[in-house]
């Protein structure tokens, strides 16, 4: 026979609220609660919390699914760097380690283009972000002129991405010598003074997924899209840099083809 007042564990109180207590414990727990008002009050409070949470959020599951979350849309985007880099990140979660992440970059670019563009971009980043008075040659206030000038020199319709939504303002830009000819250089700055730079140059390398290169003080994401190599450089914080690089990619991707 079951002892009606056998001591009940804390965990069983939670199970009582959340799931099925084994039949042989149900009576004991209910008897316990009948004789222990403080525990009964806690259990009642937990039930009320659960009810309130469900009342507040259950209906979200009944909303129509927005277009961008439909699998067809996800699958289409899956052909871009997003899914390739994303899959690599999952691999890193599961396998562990940055080696796994790099190895799954699925890039078909010859190593030298990645290395040379990234090296040049990081040198430029480190050289100019420390400048207080002369970080750029043409300020962000003259953005249209800056973009027109650099586009002309690169013979390619460029676009300075709008990073305002993530708190980054365009400081300005300059023209630099690059590994394949002229390179465009844009600098962005956040409210606390953290700086990011976008370095672009023509390339014949094929389209790639994003590739990461991290140093002690700085890091970069590199990718190729439609005959232009891009390097987004910033402080050595991969998550944050990936966010900035993603926004940049999205911005550039939405420009009209052929400029």
Partner 1 sequence: MSSFRQGIEAAIPALRRYARALTRDVETADDLVQDTLVRAWGSQHLFHEGNVRSWLYTILTNLNRNRLRSLARRPTLIPFEDDDAPYTAGSEAGGRDIERALALLVEEQRSTLLLVVLEGLSYREIAEVQGVPIGTVMSRLARARAQIKNYLDGERPALRRVK
Using CB under 8 A, list all residues that contact partner 1. Answer: 10-11, 14, 18-19, 37-38, 40-42, 44-46, 49-50, 52-58, 60-63, 65-66, 68-69, 71, 74-75, 77-78, 82-84, 86-87, 89-91, 93-94, 166-168, 190-192, 194, 237, 239-240, 243
- Which CB atom, from 191 or from 257, has the smaller least distance to partner 1? 191
Q: What DSSP character marks residue 70?
A: S
Cβ 208 to partner 1, closest distance in Å?
15
- Which CB atom, from 94 or from 144, has the smaller least distance to partner 1? 94
- Which CB atom, from 66 or from 259, has the smaller least distance to partner 1? 66
Cβ 151 to partner 1, closest distance in Å?
29
CA angle 223, 224, 228 (to 5 degrees): 125
Dihedral over alpha carbons 56, 61, 66, 71 (to 10 degrees): 150
Q: Which two tokens stand for residue 82?
A: 């997003």
- Which CB atom, from 54 or from 152, has the smaller least distance to partner 1? 54
- Which CB atom, from 86 or from 119, has the smaller least distance to partner 1? 86
| Separation CA 221–CA 215 (nearest Å) | 12
State the sign of the Cα–Cα–Cα–Cα dihedral 38, 41, 45, 47: positive
| Separation CA 109–CA 206 (nearest Å) | 6
Cβ 4 to partner 1, closest distance in Å?
19
Cβ 70 to partner 1, closest distance in Å?
8
> What beta strand segments (E) does the chain contain?
138-139, 169-178, 181-189, 195-202, 211-214, 218-225, 228-235
Cβ 25 to partner 1, closest distance in Å?
15
């Amino acid at each position: 026979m079951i002892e009606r007042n056998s001591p009940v564990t804390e965990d069983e109180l939670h199970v009582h609220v959340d799931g099925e207590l084994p039949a042989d414990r149900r009576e004991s727990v209910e008897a316990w609660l009948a004789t222990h008002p403080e525990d009964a009050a806690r259990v009642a409070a937990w039930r009320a919390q659960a009810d309130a949470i469900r009342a507040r959020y259950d209906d979200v599951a009944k909303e129509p699914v927005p277009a961008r979350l439909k699998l067809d849309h996800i699958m289409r985007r899956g052909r871009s760097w997003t899914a390739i880099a994303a899959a690599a990140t999952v691999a890193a979660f599961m396998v562990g380690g940055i080696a796994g992440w790099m190895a799954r970059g699925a890039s078909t670019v010859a190593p030298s283009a990645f290395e040379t563009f990234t090296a040049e971009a990081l040198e430029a980043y480190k050289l100019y972000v420390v400048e207080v008075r002369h970080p750029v040659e043409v300020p962000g206030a003259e953005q249209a002129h800056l973009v027109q000038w650099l586009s002309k020199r690169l013979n390619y319709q460029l676009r300075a991405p709008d990073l305002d939504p993530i708190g980054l303002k365009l400081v300005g830009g300059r023209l630099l010598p690059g590994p394949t000819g002229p390179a465009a250089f844009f600098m962005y700055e956040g409210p606390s003074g953290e700086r990011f730079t976008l370095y672009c140059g023509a390339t014949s390398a094929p389209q790639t997924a994003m590739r990461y290169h991290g140093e002690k003080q700085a890091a970069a994401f590199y990718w190729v899209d439609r005959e232009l190599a891009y390097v987004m450089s910033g402080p050595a914080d991969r998550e944050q840099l990936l966010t900035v690089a993603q926004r940049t990619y999205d911005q550039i991707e939405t420009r009209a083809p052929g400029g």
